[in-house]
Structure 1
Amino acid sequence: MLRSMGTWSILRRSLGAWESLVAEIDGHMEYIAEFAWSVGNVLRWSLGAWGKLVMWLLLTI
């Protein structure tokens, strides 16, 4: 019983860390999307059709 409680405590701590990481990423998601859009636009202008493909890939990830 004590072993399972210790495992549960470790699991709960690791899930808490994941929750905070996901919340942090979610808070920056708008900036990440804008950065991906900017990179895609630069690639589209500089590479033509290949840039459009890369931009599409960035937006679908």
Structure 2
Amino acid sequence: MNFKDLLLRAKDGDQQAKEEIFLMYRPLLFKESCVNGIFDEDLFQELSATLIHCIRMFKL
């Protein structure tokens, strides 16, 4: 399955598709959640929520 199909499934509410996308982006979320070499859990949560929000708002 390609990313576009996965994204459309996630947008339609498919929880498994959302989890797959989250797992794909998880390493990037961890990387971007480090401030001065220290992991910021609150920032990770915010970035994760933003990712899910963007999936819901996705338009072709």
Q: Which has the higher contact order (CA 8 A, sep 6+)?
A: 2
TM-score (norm. length: structure 2):
0.36
* Greater strand proportion: 2
Indicate the structure with greater helix content: 1
| Structure having the higher Rg | 1
Calculate the TM-score normalised by the size of structure 1: 0.36
